[in-house]
Amino acid sequence: MELHKYGSGIVPQDPLRRRNTLSSTDADNHSDPRRNYRLNPTSLGLVSTLSFPVIVSTADAMLKSAGVTLVGYEKIGNGHCTAIVRGAIAEVRIAVQAGMEHAQKEGQFLSSLVIPRPFPNLEVIFPIGSHLLDPAQQNHRSRISNQAIGLLETRGFPPMVGAADIMLKSANVQLTAYETIGAGLCTVIIQGRVADVAMALQIGIAEANRIGEVTAVTVIPRPLEDLEQSLPLASCLIEEQPQPLKLPIEVKETEKELVELPDLGKLPTKTKDSSS
């Protein structure tokens, strides 16, 4: 089985150049920090699909097409997944349009929405306001990872486990996590070099189809940092960062116990006998 039978699943890199151009233009237009604060972008964009690998590749297309920040994903069951981005209204519209086109090309598009200025109460109640931007993060550009990400979605848990096992044995990739979104859809997530990830997915597709059914496959060659941070990560792979040694600010000096010296005047003195 070949990867192209499950849709392109690969986001081209051309939109990334457009995103960088737009970001640099915005930085020139809003160089005044006070103006930047007054024009704090609060628009939200949402794109919904019926597949987790497709929503991840859709989010990647949105991030690379415009200067937006990925808030995260909302999974409501039965396979429904929504990618949420935040940024200036013009950037959000471009990102949502790019996400719609990508999801439609994959055949998994459900709906989309652009909210120019969400009411504060909306962000308090819904989970879409958990990742707010401050003015210092407005012109932030995400770094690009050299590691590719591969996602393989199956209907049923055994096909996913079988595909994960054969992929780890056949290529130099790392299993980072798996995700379930309801309706029997399970997604295994791997990471490694582009060639290794592509080879692993080819073998994983064949194994998963032997056991059950493959529903979607996605390869993201150069994911942005925002996208990497949004993906689940197994708890066993999370390394605890060493904490700095905390020194006490105020050191209390302990009083030393004083030793009373004997009065030399009261000590008995020994004199020599005059007869001797």
- Supply the pLDDT for residue 3: 67
Same domain, 123 and 16: yes
User: Of 137, 166, 192, which residue is a domain's last?
Assistant: 137
- Residue 274 resides in a domain: no
Counting every residue written for the chain, the total comes to: 276
Q: What is the pLDDT of residue 67?
A: 92
Is 272 domain-assigned? no
Residues 34, 101 share a domain: yes
Same domain, 15 and 131: yes
> Is 120 found in the same domain as 13?
yes
Instruction: Give the domain extent around 80.
Output: 7-137
Residues 7 and 106 sit within 8 Å (Cβ to Cβ) = yes
CA angle 246, 249, 252 (to 5 degrees): 115
How many domains does the structure of the chain reveal?
Answer: 2
List the chain residues with pLDDT less than 50: 21-41, 132-141
- Is residue 244, in this structure, part of any structural domain at all? no
What CATH number should be reported for the domain holding residue 28?
A: 3.30.70.1710
Residue 7: the pLDDT is 61
Q: CA separation (Å) from 228 to 144, 171, 176, 196, 268? A: 10, 21, 11, 18, 87
Spatial distance between the Cα atoms of 242 and 194, rounded to a whole number of angstroms: 31
Same domain, yes or no, for 121 and 185?
Answer: no
Which pLDDT value is given to residue 188?
A: 97
**Looking at the domain assignment, is residue 275 inside a domain?**
no
CB-CB contact of 72 with 56 (8 Å): no
**Same domain assignment for residues 30 and 54:** yes
**pLDDT at residue 37 in the model:** 37
Long-range Cβ contact pairs of 179-182 (< 8 A, separation 24 or more): 179/52, 179/232, 181/52, 181/75, 181/77, 181/79, 181/80, 181/81, 182/75, 182/77, 182/78, 182/79, 182/80
Quote the Cα angle for 221-222-228, to 5°: 110
The angle formed by the CA atoms of residues 228, 50 and 52, to the nearest 5 degrees, is 20
Residue 40: Cβ within 10 Å count: 12
Q: Tell me how far apart the alpha carbons of residues 166 and 203 are, in angstroms, rounded to a whole number.
A: 7
Could you tell me if residue 2 is inside a domain?
A: no
Q: Are residues 153 and 199 located together in one domain of the fold?
A: yes
Contact 44/73 with Cβ under 8 angstroms?
A: no
Domain's final residue, options 94, 115, 137: 137
pLDDT at 150: 97
pTM of structure: 0.70
Domain match, 153 and 40 both: no
DSSP-assigned states of every residue in 177-246: EEEE-STTEEEEEEEE-HHHHHHHHHHHHHHHHHHSEEEEEEEESS-BHHHHHHS---GGG-PPPPPPPP
Considering only CA atoms, which of 157, 145, 169 is closest in space to residue 212? 157
